[in-house]
């Protein structure tokens, strides 16, 4: 569904805040409803800089549970820097009218999706794309230099070039949905752009959908891109930024199409759907008397692929480690079910650089590692690798 965003709203991601003057390409909320027996979950991908505040997400959860018995909703955002600001809290607990309308539309969309569910087959595949780099460049003396643009493609580390794809077919063999996982900040547009845009993930989704009959729903699940930027970062409009943005999206999209065409789909297996959301508490990095509630999201599909969601901007190392230890194809999602700013690694905190220190880091050192360890613990339990006694 298209999110209706009025002009004039402050735009996400750059300071000073700039008002949106209109829409370059539509911002979407893409909804996937998954059900097995009495278990179900809705996945909602948002073309926004972050997910809605906890109260707003719970508003949707309550409505769809009351009206359609949808047990859980997982929200994840692409982190586009060309969408409107949303906030955790509003005066008098009253979000603006445009946000309230979007919340209502998403609720309706989830209910409709639950009522039109179909028997599906799932398949997983992966490829590689070279569109991003690690913006924290370590110099020979061990210090960190922020490399905000890298058009000559200087090699940096770590990065994760893998493009992960989940293909969803109906019983007739028609591809109905495609979920793409990759880690790269959607910041081809810079602060001079004042039109709403999904940036390269939106261009990718449009391209991929157009390559298949029936125009399947294509969603981008942003990964651990806290330290990953596109090579063509913050291009000015006078540099033909619109063309550059679309080119990056199509480059990624061509790899996705190749992967989709190579995937063999399988019917649902036993215990095809398992979901667990867990709450962890972290202290403020500077104020030990202040605490944050972090929602960790774990999803297991068909027993052969899994998802882990962080409520903020995780560094790519967490994605790489999750995939290494999961023991199966493993999607990693940032900006999921909340926004607690950056989750740097402990090592990055020591090294410094943007996103590792400063006002964009609010949670205590080691929070990202705790989330990863908890996610692996939950996954191993869901897959039967850990018993209840072993988890203690």
Q: Mind listing the pLDDT tens digit for each residue in 165-220?
A: 999 999 999 999 999 999 999 999 999 999 999 999 999 999 999 999 999 999 99
pLDDT of residue 7: 97
The rounded radius of gyration (Å) of the Cα atoms in the chain is 20
- H helix intervals, 11-96: 54-68
- For tokens 């500077």, the residue is 286
- DSSP 8-state code for residue 237: G
Q: Closest Cα to residue 220, out of 389, 380, 48, 86? A: 48
Burial 194-210 (b: 16+ CB within 10 A, else e): bbbbbbbbbbbbbbbbe
* Structure-block tokens of residue 223: 């990964």
* Structure-block tokens of residue 110: 């989830």
Residue 90 domain-assigned? Answer: no
Q: How far is CA 130 from the centre of its chain?
A: 19
Cβ atoms < 10 Å from Cβ of 70: 22
Number of domains in the chain: 1
- Write the pLDDT tens digit of every residue in 24-35: 999 999 999 999
Residue 288 domain-assigned? Answer: yes
- For tokens 């719970």, the residue is 58
Residue 281 domain-assigned? Answer: yes
Cα 344 from Cα 74, distance rounded (Å): 23
Cα 310 from Cα 280, distance rounded (Å): 11
Residue 64 domain-assigned? Answer: no
Tell me whether strands 291-301 and 273-283 are parallel, antiparallel or unpaired. antiparallel
Residue 359 domain-assigned? Answer: yes
Cα 112 from Cα 71, distance rounded (Å): 15
Residue 203 domain-assigned? Answer: no
pLDDT of residue 268: 83
Residue 105 domain-assigned? Answer: no
How far is residue 53 from each of residues 26, 49, 100, 229, 231, measured CA to CA in Å?
A: 22, 12, 12, 25, 31
pLDDT of residue 61: 98
Q: Please list the ranges in the chain whose pLDDT falls under 70.
A: 388-392
Domain around 371: 273-391
Cα 158 from Cα 147, distance rounded (Å): 14
Residue 331 domain-assigned? Answer: yes
Total residue length of the chain:
392
């Amino acid at each position: 569904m298209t999110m209706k965003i009025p002009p004039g709203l402050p735009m996400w991601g750059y300071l000073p805040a700039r008002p949106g003057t209109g829409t370059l390409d539509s911002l979407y909320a893409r909804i996937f409803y998954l059900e097995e027996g009495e278990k179900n979950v809705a996945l909602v991908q948002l073309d926004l800089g972050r997910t809605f505040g906890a109260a707003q997400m719970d508003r949707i959860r309550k409505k769809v549970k009351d009206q359609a018995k949808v047990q859980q909703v997982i929200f994840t955002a692409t982190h586009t820097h060309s969408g409107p600001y949303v906030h955790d809290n509003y005066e008098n607990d009253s979000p603006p009218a445009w946000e309230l309308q979007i919340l209502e539309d998403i609720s309706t969309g989830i209910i409709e999706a639950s009522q039109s569910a179909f028997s599906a087959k799932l398949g997983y595949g992966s490829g590689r794309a070279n569109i991003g780099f690690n913006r924290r460049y370590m110099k020979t003396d061990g210090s960190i230099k922020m490399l905000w643009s890298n058009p000559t493609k200087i090699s940096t580390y770590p990065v994760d070039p893998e493009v992960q794809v989940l293909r969803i077919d109906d019983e007739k063999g028609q591809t109905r949905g495609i979920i793409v996982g990759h880690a790269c900040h959607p910041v081809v547009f810079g602060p001079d752009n004042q039109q709403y845009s999904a940036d390269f993930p939106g261009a990718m989704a449009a391209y991929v959908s157009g390559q298949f009959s029936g125009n399947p729903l294509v969603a981008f699940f942003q990964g651990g891109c806290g330290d990953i930027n596109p090579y063509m970062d913050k291009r000015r409009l006078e540099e033909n930024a619109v063309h550059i943005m679309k080119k990056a999206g199509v480059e990624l999209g061509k790899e996705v199409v190749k992967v989709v065409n190579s995937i063999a789909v399988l019917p649902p297996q036993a215990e095809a759907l398992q979901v667990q959301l867990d709450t962890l508490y972290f202290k403020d990095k500077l104020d030990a008397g202040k605490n944050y509630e972090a929602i960790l999201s774990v999803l297991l599909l068909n027993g052969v692929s899994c998802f882990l969601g962080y409520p903020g901007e995780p560094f790519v190392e967490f994605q790489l480690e999750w995939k290494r230890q999961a023991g199966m194809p493993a999607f990693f999602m940032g900006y999921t079910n909340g926004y607690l700013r950056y989750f740097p690694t402990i090592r990055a905190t020591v090294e410094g650089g943007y996103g590792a220190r400063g006002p964009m880091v609010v949670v205590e050192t080691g929070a990202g590692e705790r989330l990863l360890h908890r996610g692996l613990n939950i996954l191993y339990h869901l897959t039967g690798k850990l018993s209840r006694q072993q988890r203690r």
